[in-house]
């Protein structure tokens, strides 16, 4: 019998964890640094606006990012942290008309991004029936992390987000073990493995542990990744054509955006098929 992992309805917090650039002051284009590489055409220090940023906080080359050497922008996801900092933490005051907010706003954005990423993972864990024994702890973690996102800038700057991440990661690991334990047969353990360029086409990776694995340019075409734990896995330029990622654990939109896929790639319903896969 084919193994199918069902999910409970998504928690109410999840829709808030999607980027809304129209309500953000382009924080990812200013606060974060990037280095000239295959992902970025130029160097840019943190706190300096990207040369392509317009006065209205929109990108001047948004429709041509991949063609002009800014592929890295197309795979970044703030999980909704940008609009939270812009509209909630700073109450709609932007860094151009209120320059006194610049330093603090740019310092807070990476912290908020981590909090929203944690919320994304915890919210997903709460949809998994197999993780029911942990749901009370997960709800507590969701509430605690959500409270931090509503704190003022000073409190966010002082937050030990690393300690919070470590505590939540323990819960997520236990969640993963409970869910993957329901998958029959022996599961692959590639946690943190260097699988760059690996030939895994057609591999049965159901219920496997790929947490933090380096899968850069790996061939995962037609691979079965259902219920595989992909948290932190590096999928840049990985071949996911015709792969089955339904019910993959903790897969993010950014991971999909960084990979290569096709119309036949099966993905979780809460994620969006990247536009560049149309030619896959």
Q: What is the largest CA-CA distance in the chain?
A: 62
| Token couple for 162 | 């690393």
Quick one: 241 exposed, middle or buried, by C-beta within 10 A (0-12, 13-18, 19+)? buried
User: Rounded CA gap, 214 and 70, in Å?
Assistant: 22
Q: Give pLDDT, residue 11.
A: 52
> What's the sign of the alpha-carbon dihedral 210, 216, 220, 226?
positive
Q: Give pLDDT, residue 3.
A: 45
User: Rounded CA gap, 184 and 131, in Å?
Assistant: 17
User: Concatenated DSSP letters for 22-79?
Assistant: GGS--GGGTTS-B-SSSS-SS-B-TTS--TTB-TTS-BTTGGGTTTTT-HHHHH---T
Nearest 5 degrees, angle CA 273-CA 26-CA 104? 130
Q: Give pLDDT, residue 6.
A: 53
**Cα–Cα separations (whole angstroms), residue 145 to 10, 123, 132, 168, 245:** 17, 11, 20, 10, 28
Structural domains of the chain sorted by starting position, each given as residue range(s) with its CATH number in brackets: 14-180 (no CATH), 187-280 (2.160.20.80)
pTM reported for the whole predicted model:
0.91
User: Rounded CA gap, 20 and 22, in Å?
Assistant: 5
pLDDT tens for 58-91 read: 999 888 988 899 988 988 999 999 999 999 999 9
User: Concatenated DSSP letters for 234-256?
Assistant: B-TT-B-TT-B-TT-BT--HHHH
DSSP 185: S
User: Rounded CA gap, 120 and 114, in Å?
Assistant: 10
Q: Give pLDDT, residue 270.
A: 87
DSSP 40: -
DSSP 89: I
Q: Give pLDDT, residue 256.
A: 96
What is the pLDDT tens value at each position of the chain, 280 positions in all? 344 445 655 554 444 788 999 999 999 999 999 998 888 989 999 999 999 999 999 999 888 988 899 988 988 999 999 999 999 999 999 999 999 999 999 999 999 999 999 999 999 999 999 999 999 999 999 999 999 999 999 999 999 999 999 999 999 999 999 999 999 998 999 999 999 999 999 999 999 999 999 999 999 999 999 999 999 999 999 999 999 999 999 999 999 999 999 999 999 998 999 988 975 4
Q: Which residue(s) pair with 82 in the sheet?
A: none
CA 81 distance to own-chain centroid: 12
DSSP 197: T
């Amino acid at each position: 019998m084919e193994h199918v992992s069902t999910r409970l309805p998504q928690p109410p917090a999840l829709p808030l964890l999607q980027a809304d650039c129209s309500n953000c002051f382009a924080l990812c284009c200013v606060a974060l640094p990037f280095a000239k590489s295959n992902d970025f055409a130029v160097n840019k220090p943190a706190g300096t606006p990207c040369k392509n940023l317009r006065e209205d906080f929109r990108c001047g080359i948004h429709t041509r990012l991949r063609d002009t050497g800014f592929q890295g922008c197309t795979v970044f996801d703030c999980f909704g942290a940008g609009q939270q900092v812009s509209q909630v933490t700073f109450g709609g005051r932007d860094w151009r008309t209120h320059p006194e907010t610049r330093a603090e706003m740019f310092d807070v954005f990476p912290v908020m991004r981590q909090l929203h990423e944690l919320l994304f993972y915890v919210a997903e864990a709460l949809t998994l029936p197999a993780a029911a024994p942990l749901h009370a702890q997960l709800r507590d973690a969701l509430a605690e992390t959500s409270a931090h996102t509503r704190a003022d800038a000073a409190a966010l700057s002082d937050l030990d987000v690393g300690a919070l991440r470590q505590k939540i990661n323990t819960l997520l690991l236990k969640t993963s073990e409970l869910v993957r334990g329901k998958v029959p047969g022996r599961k692959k353990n590639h946690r943190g493995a260097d699988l760059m360029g690996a030939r895994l086409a057609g591999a049965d990776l159901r219920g496997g542990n790929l947490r933090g694995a380096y899968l850069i340019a790996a061939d995962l075409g037609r691979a079965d990744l259902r219920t595989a734990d992909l948290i932190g896995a590096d999928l840049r330029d990985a071949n996911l054509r015709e792969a089955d990622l339904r019910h993959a654990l903790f897969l993010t939109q950014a991971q999909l955006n960084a990979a290569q896929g096709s119309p036949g790639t099966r993905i979780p319903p809460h994620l969006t098929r990247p536009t560049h896969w149309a030619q896959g």
